């Protein structure tokens, strides 16, 4: 099951896990886009189920999970990918509504999906939770404030879950991408495409497929191997705050 599967890292994961021969459940808010992806993947022989809901809506998420057909209920891998950033204002000038959306999606949405899916993994004594965090969870950067805080929370929640399931065969991984070229920046800059494009100027950024490759690798590691955390950066990015741009 992959949340936020309609674009970026989520879409990359959808394609890579499908190529790996896995049945995939794709969730997102855009039903039309999910249907396009379902058709694309099924034409290539994949088994795909789509669920339309916003991870912020706990009641709807619960309804959709509880209504899964019997043959789709045993979820072996949960990729908690749904997330976003909004705005780059200083913390003291930030928009409270934007804060709510980021916290409700990046933290509470991840918790909702974990609560809905992991008990089944515990019962079956198998499974893997892959949370998509960020380099921003390691160190704050200018304009990042609340978004960075939500990704720091993802790290803490991932570590906490790993502790909680250590007496089982369930594995837990935190993927921490750096600069990835998706629609992430378009959303953050409220549709300002030129501003978003400038962020990737002078460097070859990561792609959603690059992060998906790591997710598939982690999920296919031998059962006694738990890849707890992976920091994934573009070659000329050294940290959240240092990017060397080449002309």
Active site residues: 147
What does the alpha-carbon distance between residue 43 and residue 63 come to, in Å, rounded to a whole number? 29
Contact 226, 172 (CB under 8 A): yes
In which region does residue 239 sit, left (phi positive, over 0), alpha (psi from -120 to 50) or beta (all else)? beta
Contact 66, 110 (CB under 8 A): no
What does the alpha-carbon distance between residue 72 and residue 85 come to, in Å, rounded to a whole number? 31
Which residues lie across from 72 on neighbouring strands? none
| CA neighbor of 216 nearest in space, from 7, 12, 3, 4 | 12
Phi, psi dihedral angles at 77 (to 5 degrees): -135, 125
What does the alpha-carbon distance between residue 143 and residue 92 come to, in Å, rounded to a whole number? 11
Lookup: tokens for 106:
């990046």
Contact 28, 79 (CB under 8 A): no
- Whole-angstrom CA distances from 64 to 10, 54, 77, 87 are 19, 11, 17, 31
Lookup: tokens for 73:
């209920």
């Amino acid at each position: 099951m992959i949340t936020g599967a309609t674009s970026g890292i989520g879409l990359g994961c959808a394609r890579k896990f499908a190529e790996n021969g896995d049945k995939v459940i794709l969730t997102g808010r855009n039903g039309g886009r999910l249907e396009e992806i379902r058709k694309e993947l099924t034409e290539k022989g994949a088994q795909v189920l789509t669920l339309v809901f916003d991870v912020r809506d706990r009641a709807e998420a619960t309804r959709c999970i509880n209504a899964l057909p019997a043959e789709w209920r045993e979820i072996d891998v949960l990729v908690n990918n749904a997330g976003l950033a909004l705005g780059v204002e200083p913390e003291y000038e930030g928009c409270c509504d934007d804060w709510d959306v980021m916290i409700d999606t990046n933290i509470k949405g991840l918790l909702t999906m974990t609560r809905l899916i992991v008990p089944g993994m515990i019962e079956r004594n198998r499974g893997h939770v892959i949370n998509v965090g960020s380099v921003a969870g390691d160190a704050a950067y200018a304009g990042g404030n609340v978004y960075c805080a939500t990704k720091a929370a993802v790290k803490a929640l991932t570590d906490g879950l790993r502790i909680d399931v250590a007496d089982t065969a369930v594995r837990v991984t935190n993927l921490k991408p750096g600069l990835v070229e998706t629609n992430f920046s378009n959303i953050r800059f409220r549709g300002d495409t030129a501003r978003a494009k400038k962020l990737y100027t002078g460097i070859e950024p990561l792609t959603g497929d690059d992060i998906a490759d790591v997710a598939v690798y982690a999920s296919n590691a031998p059962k006694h191997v738990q890849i707890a955390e992976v920091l994934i950066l573009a070659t000329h990015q050294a940290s959240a705050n240092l990017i060397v741009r080449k002309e």
